[in-house]
Structure 1
Amino acid sequence: MLVRPLSIALLAAVVLAAAGCNREQKLAEQEAARAVAAEDAAKQAERAFDAALAEGNYQLARAQGDVLLAQYPATEAAARVEPQLADVAAKAEAMREERRLAGLWLYQGQAAGKGEQRTALIQAKDPIEIGGTRTPVKLVFRDHPSWGRSSYLVMEAGDFDCHGSCKVGVSVDGAAPKRMAAYRPDTDEAIAMFINDDRALWKLAQDAKTLEIEFPVNAGGTRKALFEVAALDPARMPW
């Protein structure tokens, strides 16, 4: 009388155990499939990372690497890419800074007389304060077919206190300033002050990361304008 119930109970236990094993096996198989899919996706991301690296596009490579590590951190591809990311990030930042500095310069050419006037212009990092007004300062190198070569500062407001002649201080990369002769032309066409030795200033700009020019203003005292000149391209303005 007890054999049948015991057999049924035993059979039920076996079935439940088998079901549990099957469920665990199925979960393991699903986990393995997800791991394989993650590795495949990570390998694709790694190929995109390597391609960007081969092209020298460090900003794109950095982005590809960051996505790979964020989405597939436990993959073999992530383990291969992660040690490279610090160097790639540094190169990406250097590339970004190089582009920023290059974008500070404006090169122009226009017909003038029987030839072409060419200019290279850069604006100071920060505006200066004159009489309660903040005004930008520009440094211009110009090559004119009739007037020749010149270098000068331009402001939009205020004025330079340099009629006749004066001295300005030119500092390269934070070093002690070099005194250079300058003058404010007698004209109302622009608020400009010319620096006499344009060749010397041009050479300083080619070799420097920054030029800081201190000049007198009619509001009293002097002001300083800092120019980030590191990306000057002499080929765009041959002197």
Structure 2
Amino acid sequence: MGRLEQIGQLNKMLLADMPQYKEQAEKFFLMDVVAQRRLLRSLMNVRPPMPLGENFLALQDELLSSERKEKGVVDGMELPTTADPRISLWQVDITRLKVDAIVNAANSALLGCFCPCHGCIDNVIHSAAGLQLRDECNQLMQAQRHAEPTGGAKITKAYNLPSRYVLHTVGPIIHGALTGADREALASCYRSCLALAASEGLKSVAFCCISTGEFHFPNEKAAEIAVETVCDFLANGVDMKVIFNVFKDEDLMIYRSLL
């Protein structure tokens, strides 16, 4: 089956579950594979948690697996280290990292981003992992029966990502001047993820820049808190590799100076 046919079938399956989008989607079926792939990501992003058919999952996993190979998998344990041999800095796509766990900066609903093709890390991770990730997150939230608190952490499988697990944490949202409570909440995100990883026996964790995007935490202050919290945790003799994954050049420069 060719890539275009594969994507087309997935789109038709999703539209069968969400007929309200059929009229909007019709124009994409006359376009090329890039446009149809964008439609697929959009439909996956807006699809609420609901049962997933075996045929859909097999086809989705085949597509995402092939895309993972095309992007290239990066072994987190082979990345150059900083002054501390347990810490690495890496720029660009966290969904390419082969580590025990990557960290997702989630929202309090913990179901991923529902905005089609949004550029936030939550959307990027869910889109690359597949719809099983939203389904597992929904099961966690149904059992919890309340919004995920800021500063905590949850663990799920990673599905079509090269990592084994995803750690989900909700960072503080900054509306005005930065407060001591904001700083402590962000530090709690890092501590909670590290403690959960350690309790699960994980040996490598890759952090995104929690709260610095849509949640507007100042980049330099966020990096200072991240590095200090991780270093304090590792100072207790924990056997763990930590990777700071950045996307922007600004964050790369900040972390380089700190590390």
TM-score, normalised by the number of residues in structure 2: 0.21
Higher relative contact order (CA 8 A, sep 6+): 2
Greater strand fraction, Structure 1 or Structure 2: 1
More helix by percentage: 2
| Rg (Cα) greater in structure | 1
